[in-house]
C-alpha cells in the first residue's frame, strides 16, 4: 500500500514533481559546478602565471658576483665554476619532476666583434631531452612565451641565432644576414624583442656558445618554472631543524623551497633558490583567487539550499488536502511523514545525480571557455552533493510536513484552511 | 479614493498578509535571489581593482632608463612624479662599480630606501636601514665583504666610503650581488646620478600602456619600457577571472531565478479557486491580473530591498575575509537587482495566469 501510494504520487502529480525536481537538479548543478570551478581555479591560474617566467634559479654556489648595470656586464668573463649541462635532464627526475613546467640553461659571454663588444647568451630554444624513457622538450620558447621573434626560431643543434632588436638596429643587421663570432660565421634567423636585456644581445644555441668559450658541458645558470604551492609558515621553516616526519612532509610538498632543495641535490655545489618576486606574489594572488571562489561556492551552496527548500515547502503545502484525506482515512502522522520523506529522498537521489552530471558539464564548459582546458572533478564530490541534496530536500520538506500534519483534516477538506 | 480602488487594495492586503506563510515563502525565495545577485555583481565589479592591486605588489611595472652610460636629467624624478600623480611610485636608481678591500669589483646602487621598501614589498630584508651610512647588503655580496666592527669600506675612483653593515637582502635575483645605500650619500660619494627609474603604477593594463606613451612623449631620449611579462600576466589573469566571475554570476542568478520561478508558479496555480471566485462575482479579467501582478510586485520589491543590504554585507564579508579590504555597497547594483526581482515575480505570475484564463471559473469551483 505504501509503495503504491509512493508510485501513484509520482505518476499522478507529474507537474509538481517536475517543478521540485528541476529545483533540486539546478541547485545541485550549480553547487557542483561552483565547487569544481572553485577548487580547480587556483591550479588553473597557477599554470597561467607560470607561463610568465621562472620562479626558481640554480647557479654555482661559488660563482663570482655579477657586476652588471642595466644591460651591461662590466666584468670580464671569468673562468668561474659551472654547472653540468649533462645533469639537466635529471631535473625531470626529482620528486616534483612533473611539476616542472619548463627550464632553460644559460651560458653568457662577451665577444669582441667588428661592431664592438657584444653580449652573447647561449640557451635552449626548444631542446629535445630524454630522462629515462621519457622524452620531453624545454627551453626559452616554453619559458618565455612573451618573447617575440620576427623571422623564425633557430634550432638547437645549428649555428643559427637570434639578435636582439636594439642591437640589430644599432649594428644594422637583418634576418638572413651573417655575423662573425670569433672567426666563425653564424646566420641570423630572427630578430628578438623581449622588453628586457636580451634586446641588446645575441641569443644563440647553448652548444654554439660552449664551443666559442671552449667550455663543453658548461652552464652558468638555470632558470626553472615549477608549479608550486603558496608558501605558508611551514614552508619557511628550515628543513635541517625539523623532525624526520615533518621533514618528509616538507620534502613531499610542492613548496618553492622544497623544490629548490631537490634541485640542489642533482647539482652538487650549486645554489638553488626561489625567485622571490615570482614566488611570493603569486602565492598572494593564488590564495586570493581560490579563497574568493570557494567563498562564492559556499554562498551559492547556501542560496541553492534555500531556493530548493522553498520549492519543496511549496509543493508540500499544496498537498494539504491529500494529507487531510489520508488522516481522515486513518493514516498515522508517522506514516504520512515517512511517505513524504520517501518521496523527497527519491526526488533528491534522482535529481541529485542528474544535477551532478549537469554541474559537471557546466564546469567543463566554463573551463573550456575560460582556460581552454577541462576542469578536474573529484569523484568524492558525487556522494557529497547527493548527501547535501538529500539533506536540503528533506529539511526543506520537514517544516511544511509538520504544518500540514497539524491542520484539522475537516477544515482542510472543506477548503477552509 | 474610489470604492473600486479601495476594494482593490483591501484584497491585495488580505492576499499578502492574511494567507499564512505562502507569500512568506515567495518572499524568502525572492530575497535569496536578490541577495545572491547583489553579492555576485558587487564582487564582480570590485574584482578587477583588487587583482590589479595584487599585481602591483610585484614591484615596478614600467622602467625608464637613460641611454647607456648617461644619467637621467636631474629633474626626471620630479617630472615623472608630477605626470603620474601621487598614487604612482617612482624610485630612482643609480649604479656604480666599486671595489672592496680585496680589490674585488662590486656594484653599489643608490636609491631612496623608503620608496624601495614600498615598491618591492616582496623583498626579504632582515632590517631596513634608516640612517645615511647604513647599507643594505645583498646576501651574496655579503660573503665578499670584509665586515669588521659592524662596518666595511668600499672604494670608488680613489675615494673610499665607510658603511655600516645593517640589513641583509634576499631576492633570488641580481640584487643579491649588490650593496644598496641611500641616493644622497651615493651621489655625494661618486658624483653619479640616477640612470634608471623604476615605476609602479596602479591600474589596469590599458591604463599602464597609456602612461608609458605619455612618459615617452615627455622623455623622448629615454627608454621607457613596460615590464612585459608582468603586464601580460596581469592582463591574462584579470580577464580570465572576469570571465569566471561572469559565468558564475549568470549561473547562480539563473538557478536561483528558476527555483524562485517554480515556487511562485505553483503558489499562483494553487490559488485558482480565489481566481475563480473573483471572476464569478464579476471582476474583470484585467482586475484579476492587476491584483496578482500587484501582489507579485509588492513581494518582489520588499524582497529586493531586503536582499540588497544582505547581498552587500555578503560581498563585504567575502572580500574582508579574502582580500582584507573593505567594499562599500554599490548603489549601481540596486536598480538591476530590483528590476530582476520584479521581472522574475511578474513572469512567474503571468505564465500560470495565462493558463488559468482558458479555464471556466465554474469548472474550478466545482473542483474539476
Instruction: State which of A274, A309, A331 marks the end of a domain.
Output: A274
Banded pLDDT at A132 (limits 50, 70, 90): confident
Q: Which A residues in the span 36-65 are in contact with B, Cβ-Cβ below 8 Å? A: 37, 41, 44-45, 48-49, 51-53, 57, 65
Query: What is the CA A31 to chain-centroid distance, rounded?
Result: 20
Which residues from chain A sit within 8 angstroms of residue B254, using beta carbons? 26
Residue A227 lies in a domain: yes
The alpha carbons of chain B give a radius of gyration, in whole angstroms, of 34
Q: Is the pLDDT of residue B331 over 80?
A: yes
Residue B193 lies in a domain: yes
Instruction: State which of A221, A242, A274 marks the end of a domain.
Output: A274
Average pLDDT over residues A19-44: 85
Domain match, B23 and B131 both: no
Inter-chain residue contact B240 with A284, CB threshold 8 Å: no
Domain match, B50 and B193 both: no
What domain range is B284 assigned to?
3-54+236-365
Of A27, A144, A370, Cβ closest to residue B244 = A370
Domain count, chain A: 2
Instruction: State which of B173, B194, B226 marks the end of a domain.
Output: B226
Average pLDDT over residues B357-361: 73
Task: At B76, list the grid cell.
Answer: 626626471
Domain match, A140 and A188 both: yes
Which residues from chain B sit within 8 angstroms of residue A275, using beta carbons? 171-173
Domain match, B82 and B212 both: yes
Residue B132 lies in a domain: yes
Q: Does A275 touch chain B (CB under 8 A)?
A: yes
Banded pLDDT at A52 (limits 50, 70, 90): confident
Nearest to A334 by CA among A397, A401, A408, A390: A401
Instruction: State which of B204, B226, B248 marks the end of a domain.
Output: B226
Q: How many CB pairs under 8 A join A and B?
A: 215
Residue A385 lies in a domain: yes
Contact predicate A28/A355, CB 8 Å? yes
Of A52, A74, A281, Cβ closest to residue B232 = A52
Domain match, A63 and A36 both: no
Average pLDDT over residues B344-359: 79
Domain match, B201 and B69 both: yes
Query: What is the average pLDDT value for chain A, to the nearest integer?
Result: 85
Inter-chain residue contact A311 with B59, CB threshold 8 Å: no
Which residues from chain A sit within 8 angstroms of residue B174, using beta carbons? 66, 68
Banded pLDDT at B92 (limits 50, 70, 90): very high
Inter-chain residue contact B258 with A72, CB threshold 8 Å: no
pLDDT, tens digit, for every residue of A340-387?
888 888 888 998 899 999 999 999 988 888 888 888 777 888 898 888
Domain match, B145 and B255 both: no
Domain match, B118 and B155 both: yes
Q: Is the pLDDT of residue B352 over 70?
A: yes
pLDDT, position A77? 47
pLDDT, tens digit, for every residue of B116-138?
999 998 888 998 988 778 889 99
Residue A279 lies in a domain: no
Secondary structure of chain A in the HEC alphabet? Answer: CHHHHHHHHHHHCHHHHHHHHHHHHHHHHHHHHHHHHHHHHHHHHHHHHHCCCCCEEEEECCCCCCCEECCEECCCCCCCCCEEHHHHHHHHHCCCHHHEEEEEEEEEEEEEECCEEEEEEEECCCEEEEECCEEEEECHHHHCCCCEEEECCCCCCCCEEEEEHHHHHHHCCCCCCEEEECCEEEEEEEEEECCCHHHHEEEEEHHHHHHHHCCCCEECEEEEEECCCCCCHHHHCCHHHCCHHHHHHHHCCCCHHHHHHHHHHHCCCEEEEECHHHHHHHHHHHHHHHHHHHHHHHHHHHHHHHHHHHHHHHHHHCCHHHHHHHHHCCCCHHHHHHHHHHHHHHHHHHHHHHHHHHHHHHHHHHHHHHHCCCCCCCCCHHHHHHHHHHHHHHHHHHHHHHHHHHCCHHHHHHCCC
pLDDT, tens digit, for every residue of A231-250?
888 888 888 888 889 999 99
Residue A81 lies in a domain: yes
Q: Is the pLDDT of residue A15 over 50?
A: yes
What domain range is A36 assigned to?
2-47+284-414
Residue A42 lies in a domain: yes
Residue B122 lies in a domain: yes
Instruction: State which of B226, B251, B266 marks the end of a domain.
Output: B226
Nearest CA in chain B to A370: B240
pLDDT, position B20? 60
Domain match, A115 and A264 both: yes
Domain match, A205 and A319 both: no
Nearest CA in chain B to A415: B273
pLDDT, position B22? 66
Banded pLDDT at A74 (limits 50, 70, 90): low
Domain match, A196 and A312 both: no
Q: How far is CA A240 from CA A236, A250, A261, in A?
A: 12, 11, 11
Domain match, A43 and A104 both: no
Domain match, A253 and A292 both: no
Q: Does A369 touch chain B (CB under 8 A)?
A: yes
pLDDT, position B186? 92
Of A30, A49, A370, Cβ closest to residue B243 = A370
Average pLDDT over residues B33-54: 87
Residue A230 lies in a domain: yes
Inter-chain residue contact B68 with A71, CB threshold 8 Å: yes
Share of chain A above pLDDT 70, in %: 96
pLDDT, position A70? 64
Residue B30 lies in a domain: yes
Inter-chain residue contact A49 with B225, CB threshold 8 Å: no
Which residues from chain A sit within 8 angstroms of residue B40, using beta carbons? 296
pLDDT, tens digit, for every residue of A213-230?
888 898 989 999 998 888
Inter-chain residue contact B140 with A29, CB threshold 8 Å: no
Is the pTM above the cut of 0.95?
no
pLDDT, tens digit, for every residue of B210-234?
999 999 999 988 888 888 888 888 8
Instruction: State which of A251, A274, A297 marks the end of a domain.
Output: A274
Lowest mean pLDDT across A159-173, A217-231, B300-314, B346-360: B346-360
Domain match, B213 and B149 both: yes
Q: Is the pLDDT of residue A174 over 70?
A: yes
User: Mapping DSSP to helix (H, G, I), strand (E, B) and coil, where does residue B91 land?
Assistant: strand
Average pLDDT over residues A281-294: 85
Residue B101 lies in a domain: yes
Nearest CA in chain B to A279: B122
Inter-chain residue contact B229 with A37, CB threshold 8 Å: no
Share of chain A above pLDDT 90, in %: 18
Banded pLDDT at A113 (limits 50, 70, 90): confident
Task: At A27, list the grid cell.
Answer: 541547485
Residue A386 lies in a domain: yes
Average pLDDT over residues A8-26: 78
Which residues from chain B sit within 8 angstroms of residue A355, using beta carbons? none
Banded pLDDT at A291 (limits 50, 70, 90): confident
Average pLDDT over residues B274-294: 80
Domain count, chain B: 2
Residue B185 lies in a domain: yes
- CA pair distance A381, A374, nearest whole angstrom: 16
Q: Is the pLDDT of residue B45 over 60?
A: yes
Residue B231 lies in a domain: no
Domain match, B70 and B180 both: yes
Average pLDDT over residues B258-271: 74
Average pLDDT over residues B262-272: 73
Inter-chain residue contact A296 with B225, CB threshold 8 Å: no
pLDDT, position B21? 61
Domain match, B86 and B159 both: yes
Inter-chain residue contact A276 with B319, CB threshold 8 Å: no
Inter-chain residue contact B195 with A53, CB threshold 8 Å: no
Q: How far is CA A234 from CA A247, A254, A256, B159, B201, in A?
A: 10, 12, 12, 47, 33
Amino acid at each position: 500500500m505504501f509503495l503504491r501510494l509512493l508510485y501513484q504520487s509520482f505518476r499522478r502529480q507529474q507537474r509538481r514533481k517536475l517543478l521540485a525536481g528541476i529545483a533540486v537538479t539546478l541547485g545541485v548543478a550549480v553547487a557542483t559546478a561552483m565547487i569544481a570551478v572553485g577548487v580547480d581555479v587556483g591550479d588553473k591560474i597557477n599554470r597561467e602565471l607560470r607561463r610568465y617566467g621562472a620562479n626558481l634559479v640554480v647557479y654555482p654556489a661559488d660563482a663570482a658576483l655579477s657586476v652588471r648595470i642595466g644591460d651591461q656586464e662590466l666584468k670580464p668573463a671569468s673562468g668561474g665554476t659551472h654547472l653540468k649541462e649533462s645533469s639537466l635532464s635529471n631535473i625531470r627526475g626529482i620528486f616534483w619532476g612533473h611539476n616542472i613546467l619548463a627550464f632553460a640553461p644559460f651560458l653568457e659571454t662577451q665577444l669582441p666583434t667588428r661592431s664592438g663588444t657584444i653580449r652573447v647568451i647561449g640557451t635552449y630554444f626548444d631542446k629535445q631531452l630524454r630522462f629515462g624513457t621519457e622524452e620531453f622538450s624545454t627551453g626559452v620558447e616554453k619559458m618565455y612565451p612573451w618573447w617575440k621573434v620576427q623571422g623564425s626560431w633557430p634550432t638547437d643543434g645549428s649555428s643559427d641565432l637570434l639578435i636582439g632588436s636594439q642591437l640589430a638596429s644599432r649594428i644594422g643587421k637583418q634576418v638572413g644576414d651573417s655575423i662573425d663570432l670569433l672567426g666563425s660565421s653564424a646566420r641570423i634567423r630572427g630578430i628578438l624583442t623581449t622588453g628586457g636585456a636580451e634586446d641588446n644581445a645575441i641569443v644563440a644555441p647553448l652548444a654554439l656558445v660552449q664551443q666559442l668559450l671552449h667550455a663543453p658541458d658548461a652552464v652558468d645558470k638555470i632558470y626553472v618554472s615549477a608549479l608550486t604551492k603558496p608558501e605558508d609558515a611551514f614552508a619557511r621553516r628550515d628543513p635541517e631543524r625539523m623532525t624526520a616526519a615533518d621533514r618528509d612532509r616538507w620534502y613531499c610538498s610542492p613548496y618553492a623551497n622544497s623544490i629548490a632543495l631537490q634541485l640542489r641535490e642533482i647539482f652538487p655545489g650549486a645554489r638553488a633558490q626561489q625567485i622571490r618576486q615570482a614566488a611570493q606574489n603569486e602565492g598572494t594572488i593564488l590564495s586570493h583567487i581560490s579563497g574568493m571562489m570557494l567563498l562564492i561556492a559556499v554562498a551559492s551552496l547556501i542560496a541553492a539550499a534555500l531556493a530548493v527548500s522553498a520549492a519543496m515547502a511549496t509543493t508540500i503545502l499544496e498537498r494539504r488536502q491529500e494529507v487531510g484525506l489520508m488522516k481522515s482515512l486513518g493514516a498515522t502522522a508517522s506514516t504520512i511523514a515517512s511517505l513524504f520523506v520517501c518521496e523527497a529522498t527519491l526526488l533528491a537521489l534522482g535529481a541529485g545525480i542528474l544535477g551532478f552530471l549537469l554541474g559537471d558539464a557546466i564546469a567543463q564548459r566554463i573551463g573550456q571557455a575560460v582556460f581552454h582546458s577541462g576542469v578536474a572533478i573529484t569523484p568524492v564530490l558525487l556522494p557529497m552533493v547527493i548527501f547535501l541534496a538529500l539533506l536540503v530536500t528533506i529539511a526543506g520538506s520537514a517544516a511544511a510536513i509538520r504544518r500540514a500534519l497539524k491542520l484539522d483534516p475537516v477544515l482542510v477538506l472543506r477548503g477552509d484552511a | 479614493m474610489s470604492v473600486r480602488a479601495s476594494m482593490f487594495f483591501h484584497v491585495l492586503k488580505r492576499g499578502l498578509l492574511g494567507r499564512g506563510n505562502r507569500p512568506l515563502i515567495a518572499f524568502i525565495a525572492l530575497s535569496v535571489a536578490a541577495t545572491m545577485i547583489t553579492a555576485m555583481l558587487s564582487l564582480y565589479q570590485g574584482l578587477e581593482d583588487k587583482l590589479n592591486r595584487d599585481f602591483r605588489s610585484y614591484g615596478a611595472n614600467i622602467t625608464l632608463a637613460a641611454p647607456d652610460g648617461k644619467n637621467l636629467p636631474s629633474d626626471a624624478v620630479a617630472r615623472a612624479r608630477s605626470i603620474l600623480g601621487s598614487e604612482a611610485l617612482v624610485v630612482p636608481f643609480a649604479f656604480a662599480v666599486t671595489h672592496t678591500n680585496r680589490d674585488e669589483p662590486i656594484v653599489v646602487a643608490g636609491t631612496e630606501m623608503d620608496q624601495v621598501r614600498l615598491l618591492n614589498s616582496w623583498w626579504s630584508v632582515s632590517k631596513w636601514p634608516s640612517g645615511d651610512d647604513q647599507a643594505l647588503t645583498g646576501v651574496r655580496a655579503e660573503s665578499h665583504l670584509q665586515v669588521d666592527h659592524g662596518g666595511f669600506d668600499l672604494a670608488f675612483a680613489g675615494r673610499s666610503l665607510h658603511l655600516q653593515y645593517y640589513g641583509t637582502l634576499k631576492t633570488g635575483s641580481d640584487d643579491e650581488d649588490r650593496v644598496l645605500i641611500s641616493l644622497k650619500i651615493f651621489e655625494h660619494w661618486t658624483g653619479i646620478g640616477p640612470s634608471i627609474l623604476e615605476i609602479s603604477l596602479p591600474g589596469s593594463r590599458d591604463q599602464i600602456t597609456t602612461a608609458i606613451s605619455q612618459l615617452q612623449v615627455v622623455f623622448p631620449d629615454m627608454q621607457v619600457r613596460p615590464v612585459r611579462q608582468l603586464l601580460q600576466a596581469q592582463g591574462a589573469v584579470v580577464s580570465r577571472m572576469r570571465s569566471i566571475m561572469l559565468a558564475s554570476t549568470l549561473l547562480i542568478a539563473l538557478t536561483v531565478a528558476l527555483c524562485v520561478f517554480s515556487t511562485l508558479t505553483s503558489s499562483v496555480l494553487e490559488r485558482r479557486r480565489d481566481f475563480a471566485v473573483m471572476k464569478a462575482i464579476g471582476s474583470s479579467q484585467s482586475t484579476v491580473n492587476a491584483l496578482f501582478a500587484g501582489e507579485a510586485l509588492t513581494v518582489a520589491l520588499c524582497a529586493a530591498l531586503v536582499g540588497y543590504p544582505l547581498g552587500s554585507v555578503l560581498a563585504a564579508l567575502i572580500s574582508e575575509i579574502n582580500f582584507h579590504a573593505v567594499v562599500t555597497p554599490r548603489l549601481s547594483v540596486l536598480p538591476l537587482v530590483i528590476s530582476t526581482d520584479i521581472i522574475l515575480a511578474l513572469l512567474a505570475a503571468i505564465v500560470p495566469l495565462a493558463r488559468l484564463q482558458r479555464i471556466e471559473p465554474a469548472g474550478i469551483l466545482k473542483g474539476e
